[in-house]
Amino acid sequence: MVNASLIFVVNHRLKNVVNEPLTRGNSALTPANQQLKSPAMAIREIIILPDKQLRLVSKPVEKVSKPVEKVTAEVRKLADDMFETMYDAPGIGLAAIQVAQPLRLITMDLAKKEEDGETKPRPRVFINPEILSSSEEMSVYEEGCLSIPEYYEEVERPARVRLRFTDLDGKVHEEDAEGLFATCIQHEIDHLNGVLFVDYLSKLKRDRVLKKFAKAAKRAAE
Ligand code: ZN
């Protein structure tokens, strides 16, 4: 017997595939973006499994927690560097902890190719992001993570979420996210809470990938 919610998930996935070609190439946190090069930006090192920092809960960016306060130059510089790092990787989302900064800050660019084949960058920053509510409806995407290179698995998450976040001008926004945006923001907010997408997999799969990265780190240290 096939369970009804499972059928829904499968259908939903098919729909996603039709609307936005969600193959590994352009959805699994690998963009088709052009790079935003600027001499002021610097590529930072992305930390990967099994680095324990990935399991830290990040601190709120205090300077921007109140709408009237300005984002510091340091926070802006970090966001700039994160974009540079993310485009270079390449990836579509990055949490500050992935460059070893335990702050609640996320960069993202979900720009798709235009009809003329060009991709205009659409960089977005989410400071102190919170999920206010989540849909009961779920959707499945194949996820990847710059901190778990070359590993992709399907993860089921709420299909839609309502978000609150602060932008680089210190303004607080509320916004609904769906599709790839909903998946990506949930994946990145998880990073701020020390959660990785492999935590949603079966224990067998998770243990296998954790072991693989632990071994690779050991080999690299030798
Ligand atoms: Zn990630």
Each residue's pLDDT, cut to its tens digit, for the chain (222 residues) gives: 333 333 333 333 333 333 333 333 444 444 444 444 445 679 999 999 999 999 988 888 865 444 334 678 888 999 999 999 999 999 999 999 999 999 999 999 999 877 788 888 899 999 999 999 999 999 999 999 999 999 999 999 999 999 999 999 888 999 999 999 999 999 999 999 999 999 999 999 999 999 999 999 999 888
* Residue at 182: amino acid letter: A
134 forms bridges with which residues in the sheet? 161
Best CA proximity match to 49, nearest among 203, 184, 215: 215
* Owner of token pair 């303004």: 171
What is the model's pLDDT at position 63?
Answer: 53
Count of beta carbons in the 10 Å neighbourhood of residue 29: 28
Report the separation in Å between the CA atom of 171 and the middle of ligand 1, taken as the mean of its atom positions. Answer: 25
Give domain 4-221's CATH number out of 3.20.20.150, 2.60.40.10, 3.30.565.10, 3.90.45.10.
3.90.45.10
CB-hemisphere CA count at 13 Å for 183?
24
List residues with catalytic annotation: 188
- pLDDT tens digits for 138-159? 999 999 999 999 999 999 999 9
Task: Collect residues with CB below 5 Å from ion ligand 1.
Answer: 145
Distance from the alpha carbon of residue 39 to the mean position of ligand 1, in angstroms:
26
Distance 175 CA to ligand 1 centre (A): 21
Q: How far is 206 from 197, CA to CA, in rounded Å?
A: 9
Q: What is the CA radius of gyration of the chain?
A: 18
